[in-house]
Structure 1
Amino acid sequence: MTTNIDNTLIQATVTRRDDHTDDIAVFELAAADGSALPVFEAGAHIDVVVGPELIRQYSLSNAPGATSYRLGILNDPDSRGGSRQIHAELKAGAEVQISAPRNHFPLAMDAEHSLLIGGGIGITPMIAMAYALKAAGKSFELHYCSRSQSKAAFLEELEREFGDSLTLHFDDAGEASRIDPKALAAARPGTHLYVCGPSGFMDWVIEQGKAAGLPDSQIHFEYFNAEVDISGEAFEVYAETSDVTVQVGPNESIAAALKAAGVRVQMSCEEGVCGTCICDVSEGTPDHRDHFLTDEEKEDNDQIALCCSRAKSSRLVVDI
């Protein structure tokens, strides 16, 4: 399985830009030719082509069924260039290439209760989920965690649309404002927990959800960045479709080794969170280091994220 977003690129226009805080801008996009954009479901994201070899993923934050796409983008000081360039260049009227929506973070609409927790800019997919749950008359809570009110986007809309279902948690408001995911997850039977935000925050929320007794099948998450460790012993990779064999060095990614040998590898996040570079494995045992594949998929050992994962065996055969 290989992914090629070139098949689904859409020329889009920024119809509106609002700077909600000093580091969060909200962009509305429409098809440049006036046609209808593909429909999306809550939890979906799109790829944004920032420049040559620079593609980033952003969650859709408006209500499913909307005729436009809305993105909330943090100008991250630790960014590798994508968000900084978007903040600098995407003004109203600008054109940009995007992919059709993909959804690796879907809602379980049959859940008895949904607990939505967004940390910082991780609130964006939670907004779309809250709209979907509200429209379906489902039981849910929306929790927005931010360092301060001045750093929080979408506040007026969230308070207007979700009322008593919304709880705000600001770090600078003291201990009483802090969220307790363990207590929340244990409070209602049949709860499904959803979380998105900085990786450390997400790891903590997921741990608290498990401590509250939620099974893995009721804990849902989507990382938008992560620390990756590509170090390890050297190994061989045979790209079966391309008929190319490479040696992957101790501090080299499989993707980098393949690209150096002339094999085209489609990548985006380069941090093992987006799934763009996932490839089938027909021989050998992967050393999974991504945050995209589920635990069950990793146990099958028949797929690998080329940007960050390595090999436990001396040789891998991959379908690329």
Structure 2
Amino acid sequence: MANKYEMIAARVTGVEQVTPLIKRFTLVRQDGELLPGFTGGSHIIVQMKNADGRQHSNAYSLMSDPQATASYQIGVRLEEQSKGGSAFMHEQVEVGTELMISTPNNLFAIDQSARKHVLIAGGIGITPFLAQLYELHQDGADYELHYAFRSPEHGAFQEEISTGVHGAHSRFYIDSLGQSLNLAALLADLQSDAHVYVCGPKPLIDAVISTAKQLGVADQRVHWEQFAAAPATGGAFTVVLAKSGTELKVEEGMSILQAIEKANAAQIECLCREGVCGTCETRILEGEAEHFDQYLSDEEKVAQQTMMLCVSRARSDRLVLDL
């Protein structure tokens, strides 16, 4: 499949420690030109290279004003189980560091048909909403933000949200202070023309989706985003690369992409390894995929025509791929 992104040479002009675990990075183009325009909810892929030549690629939400494209801002949480990307950003990136970044893509856009927008954020999941808040305010939209985090020092960007124009639209829930977000009550009061957006840890996303279902909220009114690859669960299965006839066993806990790379069986481009960029989309010739990506639409997943090799797995014992 063709690469859906163009890469841009960027330079870091600002690094700010926002919470003990989150840093805000400001990026500009190395050539001094304006960066591409974007809409709230967009992400970019950031490519990083270690001194030993190893490359990491991570997707990060753009959190700056979409109207101001002289620079981009992203927020990066240092993950305990970092695959290398967040550790690199926190430990090696400083003002002046040069990075490659992709053009923006949006899988989490504000639905313009909604009359009201209810934003639910958990922890680092606040980042895509920051750009959306700019848009919603500029459009004069009806919106509210519900932002939950574990303790006061981990409430990234809380002060600038609460003291700015969004303060009257925002509520904060701090776990260590016994403040919990009651999803059932929030969604039970949802207006019939309101849409819900959630970003944050998987348990929060799952809870919003299941609560909305129980309350009869239509699926198309619930939008979610999570930048973390789904765990490679399920038993082992066989993948056949049709062009070479190569058969590979994909073990439990391993992705198809990892199995192909381990065997050096084919060259696969994958920018994000998290099921959001679409660059490893591959045609399915036989068998059925268990889709864990956020790139394909529900209709495309049901059609079983293509799959993302970085996160999705087999529903059948055997998959034949157009590779």
- In the superposition, the TM-score normalised over structure 2's length comes to 0.90
Say if 1:236 and 1:150 are closer, same or farther in 2 by CA, change over 3 A.
Answer: closer
CA distance in 2 between partners of 1:173 and 1:307 (Å): 39
After superposition, the C-alpha distances for 1:165-212 in whole angstroms (9 at most, x for unaligned) are 0111110121xx311223222322211110111111211122222223
Verify the 8 A CA contact 1:224 1:274 in the aligned structure 2.
no
Residue 105 in structure 1 maps to residue 108 in structure 2: yes
Range with bigger deviation, 201-210 or 33-42: 201-210
Say if 1:318 and 1:120 are closer, same or farther in 2 by CA, change over 3 A.
Answer: same
After superposition, the C-alpha distances for 1:43-94 in whole angstroms (9 at most, x for unaligned) are 1000001223410000001121222111011111121121111011111121
CA distance in 2 between partners of 1:204 and 1:276 (Å): 29
Say if 1:181 and 1:276 are closer, same or farther in 2 by CA, change over 3 A.
Answer: farther
> What is residue 31 of structure 2 aligned with on the other side?
33
Aligned-residue offset at 1:276:
3.6
AA partner of residue 250 (structure 2): G
CA distance in 2 between partners of 1:112 and 1:33 (Å): 41
AA partner of residue 58 (structure 2): R
CA distance in 1 between partners of 2:281 and 2:146 (Å): 32
Verify the 8 A CA contact 2:119 2:145 in the aligned structure 1.
yes
Verify the 8 A CA contact 1:279 1:319 in the aligned structure 2.
yes
Verify the 8 A CA contact 1:46 1:59 in the aligned structure 2.
yes
> What is residue 204 of structure 2 aligned with on the other side?
201
Q: 1:118 aligns with which of 110, 117, 121?
A: 121
AA partner of residue 63 (structure 1): D
Equivalent residues in 2 for 1:303-314 (5 A)? 303-313=306-316
> What is residue 250 of structure 1 aligned with on the other side?
251
Aligned-residue offset at 1:229:
2.4
Q: 2:224 aligns with which of 214, 221, 225?
A: 221
CA distance in 2 between partners of 1:309 and 1:135 (Å): 38
CA distance in 2 between partners of 1:203 and 1:287 (Å): 18
Residue 61 in structure 1 maps to residue 63 in structure 2: yes
Structure 1 segments of 4 or more deviating over 6 A? none
Aligned-residue offset at 1:116:
0.6
Say if 1:212 and 1:250 are closer, same or farther in 2 by CA, change over 3 A.
Answer: same
Verify the 8 A CA contact 1:3 1:266 in the aligned structure 2.
no
AA partner of residue 249 (structure 2): V
CA distance in 1 between partners of 2:237 and 2:151 (Å): 46
Unpaired stretches in structure 1, ≥5 consecutive residues:
none
Aligned-residue offset at 1:245:
2.6
CA distance in 1 between partners of 2:64 and 2:294 (Å): 25
> What is residue 47 of structure 1 aligned with on the other side?
45
Aligned-residue offset at 1:227:
4.0
Give the secondary structure class of the aligned counterpart of 2:106: coil
CA distance in 2 between partners of 1:27 and 1:293 (Å): 29
> What is residue 157 of structure 1 aligned with on the other side?
160
Aligned-residue offset at 1:226:
4.1
Q: 1:77 aligns with which of 77, 80, 105?
A: 80
Give the secondary structure class of the aligned counterpart of 1:161: coil
AA partner of residue 266 (structure 1): E
Tell me how many residue pairs correspond in the alignment.
314
Range with bigger deviation, 275-284 or 45-54: 275-284
Give the secondary structure class of the aligned counterpart of 2:127: helix
AA partner of residue 168 (structure 1): F
Unpaired stretches in structure 2, ≥5 consecutive residues:
none
Aligned-residue offset at 1:106:
1.2
Say if 1:214 and 1:14 are closer, same or farther in 2 by CA, change over 3 A.
Answer: same
AA partner of residue 93 (structure 1): G
Verify the 8 A CA contact 2:25 2:75 in the aligned structure 1.
yes
Verify the 8 A CA contact 1:246 1:257 in the aligned structure 2.
no
AA partner of residue 26 (structure 1): R
> What is residue 149 of structure 2 aligned with on the other side?
146
> What is residue 172 of structure 2 aligned with on the other side?
168
AA partner of residue 65 (structure 1): Q
> What is residue 8 of structure 2 aligned with on the other side?
10
Say if 1:317 and 1:53 are closer, same or farther in 2 by CA, change over 3 A.
Answer: farther
What is the percent sequence identity of the aligned residues? 38
CA distance in 2 between partners of 1:45 and 1:236 (Å): 31
CA distance in 2 between partners of 1:183 and 1:249 (Å): 43
Verify the 8 A CA contact 1:228 1:271 in the aligned structure 2.
no
- In the superposition, the TM-score normalised over structure 1's length comes to 0.90
Verify the 8 A CA contact 1:185 1:191 in the aligned structure 2.
no
Say if 1:157 and 1:110 are closer, same or farther in 2 by CA, change over 3 A.
Answer: same
Range with bigger deviation, 225-234 or 117-126: 225-234
Say if 1:186 and 1:276 are closer, same or farther in 2 by CA, change over 3 A.
Answer: farther
Aligned-residue offset at 1:269:
4.3
